[in-house]
Each structure stands twice: as C-alpha cells, then as structure tokens.
Amino acid sequence: MKKKLLIVESPAKIKTISKFLGDDFRIMSTVGHIKDLPKKELGVSINGTIDIKYVAMENKDKVIADICKAASVSDQIFLAPDPDREGEIIAWHAEQEILKVVKDKNKIKRITFNEITKPAILEAVENPFDVDMKKVAAQQARRVLDRWVGYEVSPVLWKKIAKGLSAGRVQSVALKMICDRETTIREFKPEEYWSIAGQFEHQAGSITAMLSEINKKKIDIKSKEQSDKILKDIDKVDFSISEIKDKDRTRNPFAPFMTSTLQQAAFNSLGYTVKKTMTIAQKLYEGMPLQDENTPVALITYMRTDSKRISDTALTQTRSYIGKHFDKNYLPSKANLYAKDSKKTQDAHEAIRPIDVEITPSIAKMYLPKDAAKLYELIWRRFVACQMTPALYAQRQVVINGDKFTFKATGSTLLFDGFLKVYKPEESTASENPAEGSEDGEQKSTELPKNIKAQDSLDLAKIDPKQHFTQPPAKYTEGSLVKEMEKEGIGRPSTYATILSTIESRKYVTLDAKKKFTPTELGFTVTNMLTENLPKIMNIKFTALMEQDLDLVAKGEMERDTLLREFYDVFKVDLEKFAGKDGKGKDKKALQTEVLCPDCKKHHLSIRFGKTGEFLGCMGYPECKFTCNFERTEDGKIQCVETKEPEVLEEKCPQCGKNLREMRGRFGMFIACSGYPECKYIKKNYAKFKCPLDEGEVVEKKWRGGKMWGCANYPKCKFAIFGDIEETPCPQCKKFKFLVKKVNAKGEVTLMCYDKTCGYKIKKD
C-alpha cells in the first residue's frame, strides 16, 4: 500500500512527477482551487475581527472527499500546489479539509519546487515545512479586497448603467488607463515642425547629416517660412568637418524573462495574447512529451515570477553550454547576474528559464506543437543570451559646420555580435534597454566614410527639408498595457491575462486589426462613473500602494485585518454615496451629448446602453422617442448615423414561408424571419464542408468573445475552431477542406492547416 500522499495543483503534473518518486507515493491533484468565497453572498463580515466564509467550489466535493480518503490511510502528506500565494491558499484549504480525518497535524507538510525535475522534487520532499500563513493572509487580503469591489460595486453599475457589468479593483484601473490614453489621443493637437537633412560630398564618400543647431542653439523650425529662410541662408555657406568622435559602445544582454517581460516579448515577437502565452507556458512547466509520447518532460521553470534570480546549477550548465558551442569570446569571465527590484519582487522564485539548455529549440521543434515550440525557443534564446558577452559597436559622430549652421551624422558598425548571435529582440522590445538609440535624437546612418578627418572641406550636394507633425501617444496593445501596469505597480503579472480577458468580454474595449485597444462608450461611461464616485479605488497610485501593502502582509510586516480595515473605512463611505442611502441609486445613467434631438429640437441626445449595444436617445423620453445609432469622429465628436431598417430579403423562411430579413443583434448582423415573434427562425451560416470528426454540419456561431465554427452535433462532437476560416482546401496535405485564419498583433493575416502535423502556413496579402 502507498503510504505517502503528494497533492499537486494541476493534474497535468501527475505524470511528470510520478516518474521521479517511488512506488510508495500516491500523487493526487486539487485541480486548481477547491474552496472560495460563496457565489451568492458576500462571504466577508466585519465584527471584532474580519471573518471570511469559505465553501467548497462547484464540482469539488468529490475531489475533496477523494483527497481526504487517501490522506486518512497515509503516513505522510505533502502539499505541493504552485509556489505562489494562490498555491499557498490551495495548500491551506487542502490542509483544513485533511485535518478533519487526520488528527496528527505533523503528518501534513508543505513543499514547493520551481522546476519539475527529479533533483528539485527529491530536495523538496527532503525539506518540507509548514504552510506559510503570512502568504495565506496576503492571498486572503487580495481576495477580500477584490470581493468587496466586485460584489458591492457591480450591482450599482447594473442599476445605473446596464445589467451584466462588472467592476474590479485592478480591472477598473486598467480600463481607466486605456480610457485616459484614448482621451489624450482625441484631445491631442498636432504641432508642425520641420527637419532639414543635408547630403555632403567628400572624396571618401557621401555623408547625410541632420541640421541640429543654429548659432549653437538646438533647432526649432515651426513653419515652411522659417524653413525656406534657413535654406536660403544655407545656400551661401561653405561647410567643413569640425569634429569626428569615435568611440566603442557596448549593448548588454537582456535579463532573463520574468512573467511580465515574457508576456510583452511573446506579444511583440510572436503575436501571442497574454492569455495564450500563459496557457502555453503552463504546459511547458508542467511537462510535454518529447521522444516518448507517454513520458512528459518539464521544459521550463515556474512561469509566474517577478524575479531575475538564476540558480547556481543553471548558471553552471548554461556557461558550460556556451563554452562548448561558441567561441571563447562569447563567454564572459564570470556569470552575468541581474539585480532584483526590491520594491516589486514578490517571491524568491527564479527567472523563467529552460530546465535543460541541452534541449535546444531545434530539438523542441521536432516534438512540440508549433506554438509551444516558438515560445520555448523565445525563452531558451533569451536565457542563453543573458549569460553571453555584450555586443560591441564602433560608433562615429561627424560634426559639420558652416558659419552658424551645425549638422550632425551618427553612424554605427557592429564589431562583435556577442549575445545578439543567439537573441535578436524585435525592435518593439528594444525599449526594455532604455539606453539604446541615437544620441540627442539625431538621425542614425548605418555607415559613414572612414577616410575623413577634421577640417576636411565638404560640398553640399543636396538639401532636403521635410514637414512633420507631432504625434499623439499610441493606443495600448496587450503588450504595452502590461508594460505600463508593471511600471505603475498595478496588479501582478499572474493576474494580467484575466484582467485583459474581462475588460474585452464585458465590451468595455474593442481590438482593431493591429490588436490595439479602443474603449467603447460603455467603457468610458463605467470609467467616468467609477472615477467620479469611487476616486480612491480608481487612483493608480493608491492601487499600487495596495500591492505594496499586500507584499508587507506576505512578509509578516503588516496585519491582514489592518490593511482591510483601512481600505474598507474609506470604501464604505464612497460606496454609500454612490449607491444612495437606500442602496438603489438613481435612474440609469444617461450620458448627455451636445447633439440636439433632430425630432423635438428641445432636448439633447444621450448615450444609452441596450441589449444590442450603444445608441443615442432623446432625453425628452417618453414624450420624444427618437433614437439613432451613432459614431465618433476622429476628434471625439459624436454624430448620428442613419439607422438602417431591417432589410427584407427575397428568401423565404423554411418554417413559416414569410420573407427573411437582415437584423442587427448583440453580436452583429444576422438573418431571421420577419414573422417574429410568432416565428423565431434564425438562419444559420453553414460551412460547405462537413465536420472532419463525425460528418455533421459545421455552423458559424457568434458569442461575446467573437466568432467560432463548430459541429452542429455539439456537445456529442467537440469539433471547434475559435476564430475565422477560409474555405480553401489545404494544398499540402489535402486532408481538410478549409484553412484556419489567424491575425497577429501587426494585423497580418496567416492561413494555416488545421492539422498541426501538416504544418502548412502562408501569409495572406
């Protein structure tokens, strides 16, 4: 009989871990959280203390019963959920349940490991400890804070705006950041400015330089008239080289990934959403099969971390790998170490790294699904590169003078690629190293002539003035929003995927073809209402301070209830004002616009929110019933657009014989019977091919999250494609009569075969 019980969080780990432990171990899984606050009540009461009510989560009674039954006949019980605060609360909940059947608490111990390898597992089992109640308290504090905001604010939004809305302590602040950015963009007033480039000829070659100073003052050319006058004066001047500055510049390798930087790099380089990145990373951590399909191998360390720490074992292995596979110049004399940010680093985990650098990307590609192989390669390359030498550039700046005019040209030549041999980051991720880029904003040329010297005369062959306009800040993408949230200390990287999914699913934002966020009118209305009525929880600095306080609770430097009481004392006052003393609040919010009602010409139109989306309605309702759809112009002004009447089609309803008509619904356009409500027929869009699993019809479905295609025989058949398709047979394997259509962060469309083993992929123009 197995006398030892090890309890993990995810069932996917069981197979990976089981091969490291003896036959006397039984491994079971909690399958995530087993207990939480109740769904239909607040679950938090403030008496002398703050009491939290936990109940078994839906469908977890059997899981709990099975774990307790196994624990009752075990000599030792090891609680091994993930090594973070969420994992700690799962371990504590499991312990509380097990103590109902196991009276000796000393039999129950907590273990953690950052990687699923035999040495790490055996070391963890040899060094067990008690559940960390300080981490438990920190998780409880976060959960209670989120419950107070979500449970008590959301119903007020239902009454004041529309049903189904939600507020969140971090979610609402993230939405506010998107709305504030959009407001800045709409209010932005472009300013004209001009640049002047000169092409100078020397017998050694051409030099293109930018005008940088006039009378030793930085240029500030605001109009064509100014530019023309400068051009006229430049035409009379002789030029020569006044100074040449040569220096070597190093570019240091990037630190290994932590959660937030992995999410940003995967978005920028691979077009992966934050959710997709974390889902794949979880699988790489838990284990995926390589040579042996029945034996999963853990490929990376724990992926929820804000640490840059690297274990001595990993450093030794990686430096050995670099020494064997690269010239000696690529290996620094000692290991590169990366300082932690003590204010933001939450736990003493390692950075995200490959467990075994000998499993190279080329090996991973042979066995892993394509998406997983790409993410593994990104992690592998970033980590190996972090232990290599810097790249070395020869940088030359040429200063050209003529009378009062100063032109500058900067050129850079790569002398030694160093870490760039392994990891070449996308241009969009280069901002992680803020020192990169040209000096003083000058234009950088790739090459400058070598055989030139100070005092050499130059001929001005061409002068090129260009008009420019200042640009507003860019809209947020998932990658840039994660970066900003991390910079501001908002939320934790492990929560970003959920936050972004929520604000999208609630229709607070939309994503354009380039995956950029635009807040909807609903998003703006919710944000403005919460900012006006609950200023504290919508304040970015206050939210960041709450994160720091949660860290103090986890360290035992602040009491859980002290943090919660300080928050609730302020929150309760604001909430009561927001909801109204009777708790009902006022009538639903009508966001008044400057547009006068074209029908009654007495009242303004207001933005309202219905089942089919946003619309304008007269504030004189019910006397005036005018409504219309609307759009915003680029400068943010609202204007009515003609409301399209349902188009009656010649096609007849197959159920009642009446004409069909095209309608607009919650998820876009659809075709339904004109005899509604007597006839409720809705036309479905069927694919021309049959389901490849059971030959059933394949039908298009629209939902809050977007579009999908699935078998009409669901739930018996689970065939589904989330996203869009093109009904073109795969030209490579010819197995399927359609291709899956994917759009990346840059808006580029790729068509690929549904069968991952086929691997067919092509970019669409």
List the catalytic residues: 302
DSSP 8-state class, residue 106: G
- Residue 591, H or E segment: strand 591-596
Does residue 190 have a cis bond before it (omega within 30 degrees)?
A: no
Round to whole Å and give the CA distance between 536 and 380.
Answer: 42
Round to whole Å and give the CA distance between 710 and 508.
Answer: 27
Determine contact, residues 157/166, Cβ cutoff 8 Å. yes
Does residue 622 have a cis bond before it (omega within 30 degrees)?
A: yes
Helix axis angle for 274-286 and 370-385, nearest 10°, is: 80
* Strand order across the beta sheet in which 4-8 lies: 25-29, 4-8, 76-80, 108-110
Q: Look up residue 57 and give its two tokens.
A: 């989560």
- CA-to-CA separations, 468 to 21, 230, 463, 475, 705, in angstroms, rounded: 66, 17, 16, 20, 39
Q: Which of 97, 77, 70 is nearest to 1 (CA)?
A: 70
Determine contact, residues 242/399, Cβ cutoff 8 Å. yes
Determine contact, residues 534/496, Cβ cutoff 8 Å. no
Name the one residue in this structure whose structure tokens are 């950029």. Answer: 516
- Residue 192, H or E segment: strand 192-202
Round to whole Å and give the CA distance between 516 and 721.
Answer: 23
Phi and psi (nearest 5°) for 664?
Answer: -105, 130
Q: What is the dihedral of CA 548, 549, 550, 553, to 10 degrees?
A: 130
Quick one: three-class SS letters along 655-711? CCCCEEEEEEECCEEEEEECCCCCCCCECCCEEEEECCCCCCEEEEEEECCEEEEEE
* Four-residue CA torsion sign, 693, 698, 699, 700: positive
Round to whole Å and give the CA distance between 37 and 52.
Answer: 8
The amino acid occupying position 660 is L
Phi-psi region of 239 (alpha: psi -120 to 50; beta: other; left: phi over 0): beta
Q: Which of 314, 308, 318, 286 is nearest to 299 (CA)?
A: 286
